[in-house]
């Protein structure tokens, strides 16, 4: 029996080490989070770091100190998606490149979070929400939904409790149950009509349901300059492309490859958008970049055929 337990513990240990090694490297990220409008440092913001190459989160997730500062060491080079979350503030999702070459140093990342409109939740409610969020972060989606619904019922008289719907909706989206997710998001957005995280979540849910027109209605509500996540920019760009709104598509797709100049899907879709607009020079340049980055892509032959046709 002891031997069996020892083997199980060894396996768990190897999994933890493997996950850590997958995101480990010689790079580092640092930044400061302040409140939009006041410039006040925000303490206790969770910074979730997702390594695109490793398809894994960097653990543990750093939190901002009393000066709003955070640091993450030993991170792998390449593209990272970063979420900034604290109950009572609108969450923010951005993308950053980590360059681990000698002498390369990235400036501190300054993030401004807007305070959620209306009364904030008291500390006891926040503690329970954070525990439920841990379930969500560990991909225990149904357990998270149950926990958040319990919190919503238990504290139904508390001002601001509707924001819990954001997390319930995210859990349903993770289970591909987008209709249920949208119901929860929309209930919350009625109370917080300017909450970027809620608006973005509704648009993404409609996109995942292949309802691009409805997705675009919601995405247009978000100021362009506030979107800094590569996947979000790409998804919105594709949505505009599918709606034949090519100028709008270009705006988002260009920004996606400006943030990550190795983002192959962005270059491919950029090339296809230029092709639809009969801008052959720009289309060839974008598609050649795509072919260079991802020669194994199933879209490679399509890109090559367009480049060959325009080059004749």
| Pairing of the two strands 46-51 and 78-85 | antiparallel
Give the model's pLDDT for residue 69: 94
Residues 151-161 have a mean pLDDT of: 87
Phi, psi (degrees; rounded to nearest 5) at 248: -65, -40
What pLDDT, in 10s, does the model give residues 287-303? 999 999 999 888 999 99
> Do 214 and 241 belong to one domain?
no
Q: How confident is residue 138, by pLDDT bands cut at 50, 70 and 90? A: confident
**Boundary-marking domain end, from 222, 241, 275:** 222
Is residue 11 in a domain?
no
Cα–Cα dist 21/17, whole Å: 6
Angle between helices 264-276 and 230-242 (to 10 degrees): 20
Residue 253 structure tokens: 């797709």
Is residue 170 in a domain?
yes
| Pairing of the two strands 46-51 and 92-98 | unpaired
> Do 108 and 162 belong to one domain?
no
Q: Domain count for the chain, please give it.
A: 3
Q: Which domain does 258 fall in, by range?
A: 230-311
Give the model's pLDDT for residue 37: 85
**Boundary-marking domain end, from 68, 92, 113:** 113
**Boundary-marking domain end, from 63, 92, 113:** 113
Residue 20 structure tokens: 């850590």
Give the model's pLDDT for residue 5: 43
Give the model's pLDDT for residue 119: 59
Residue 12 has pLDDT above 60, yes or no: no
What pLDDT, in 10s, does the model give residues 58-76? 888 899 999 999 998 888 8
> Do 179 and 137 belong to one domain?
yes
> Do 88 and 151 belong to one domain?
no
Give the model's pLDDT for residue 104: 66
Give the model's pLDDT for residue 206: 92
> Do 210 and 180 belong to one domain?
yes
CATH of the domain at 235: 1.25.40.10
Give the model's pLDDT for residue 52: 83
> Do 130 and 211 belong to one domain?
yes
> Do 217 and 234 belong to one domain?
no
Residue 287 structure tokens: 């598609």
Is residue 10 in a domain?
no
> Do 241 and 204 belong to one domain?
no
What pLDDT, in 10s, does the model give residues 42-54? 999 999 888 888 8
Is residue 13 in a domain?
no
Phi, psi (degrees; rounded to nearest 5) at 232: -65, -45
Q: What is the percent of the chain with per-residue pLDDT over 70, rounded to a whole number?
A: 91
Cα–Cα dist 109/127, whole Å: 27
Q: How confident is residue 8, by pLDDT bands cut at 50, 70 and 90? A: very low
Cα–Cα dist 166/121, whole Å: 15
Q: How confident is residue 254, by pLDDT bands cut at 50, 70 and 90? A: very high
Q: What is the DSSP string of 67-89?
A: TSEEEEEEEPSEEEEEEEE-TTB
Phi, psi (degrees; rounded to nearest 5) at 41: -60, 140
- Return the H-helix or E-strand segment holding 166: helix 164-174
> Do 262 and 210 belong to one domain?
no
Which value, to the nearest 10 degrees, does the dihedral of the CA atoms of residues 161, 173, 42, 58 take?
140
What pLDDT, in 10s, does the model give residues 266-286? 999 999 999 999 999 999 999
Q: Quick check: helix, strand or coil at residue 27?
A: strand
| Residue 166 · residue 189 · CB < 8 Å | no
> Do 104 and 63 belong to one domain?
yes
> Do 252 and 197 belong to one domain?
no
Residue 4 has pLDDT above 50, yes or no: no
CATH of the domain at 61: 2.60.40.10
Q: How confident is residue 118, by pLDDT bands cut at 50, 70 and 90? A: low
What does pLDDT average to over the chain? 86
- DSSP class of residue 263 equals -
């Amino acid at each position: 029996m002891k031997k069996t337990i020892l083997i199980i513990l060894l396996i768990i240990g190897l999994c933890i080490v493997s996950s850590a090694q997958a995101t480990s490297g010689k790079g580092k990220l640092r930044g400061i989070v302040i409140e939009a409008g006041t410039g006040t440092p925000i303490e206790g913001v969770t910074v979730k770091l997702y390594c695109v190459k490793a398809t894994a989160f960097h653990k543990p997730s750093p939190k901002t100190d009393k000066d709003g500062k955070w640091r993450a060491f030993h991170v792998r080079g390449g593209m990272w998606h970063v979420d900034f979350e604290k109950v009572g503030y609108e969450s923010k999702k951005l993308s950053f490149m980590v360059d681990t070459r000698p002498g390369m140093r990235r400036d501190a990342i300054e993030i401004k979070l807007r305070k959620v409109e209306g009364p904030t939740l008291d500390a006891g409610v926040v503690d329970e929400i954070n525990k439920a969020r841990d379930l969500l972060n560990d991909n225990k989606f149904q357990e998270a939904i149950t926990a958040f619904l319990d919190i919503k019922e238990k504290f139904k008289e508390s001002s601001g409790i509707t924001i819990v719907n954001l997390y319930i909706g995210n859990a349903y989206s993770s289970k591909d149950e987008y209709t249920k997710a949208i119901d929860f998001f929309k209930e919350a957005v009625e109370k917080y009509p300017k909450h970027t995280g809620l608006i973005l979540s509704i648009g993404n849910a409609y996109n995942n349901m292949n309802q691009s027109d409805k997705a675009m209605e919601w995405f247009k509500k978000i100021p362009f300059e506030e979107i800094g996540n590569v996947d979000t920019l790409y998804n919105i760009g594709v949505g505009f492309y599918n709606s034949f709104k090519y100028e709008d598509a270009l705006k988002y797709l260009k920004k996606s490859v400006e943030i990550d100049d190795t983002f192959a899907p962005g270059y491919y879709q950029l090339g296809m958008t230029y092709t639809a607009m009969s801008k052959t020079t720009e289309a060839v340049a974008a598609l050649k970049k795509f072919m260079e980055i991802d020669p194994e892509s199933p879209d490679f032959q399509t890109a090559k055929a367009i480049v060959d046709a325009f080059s004749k």
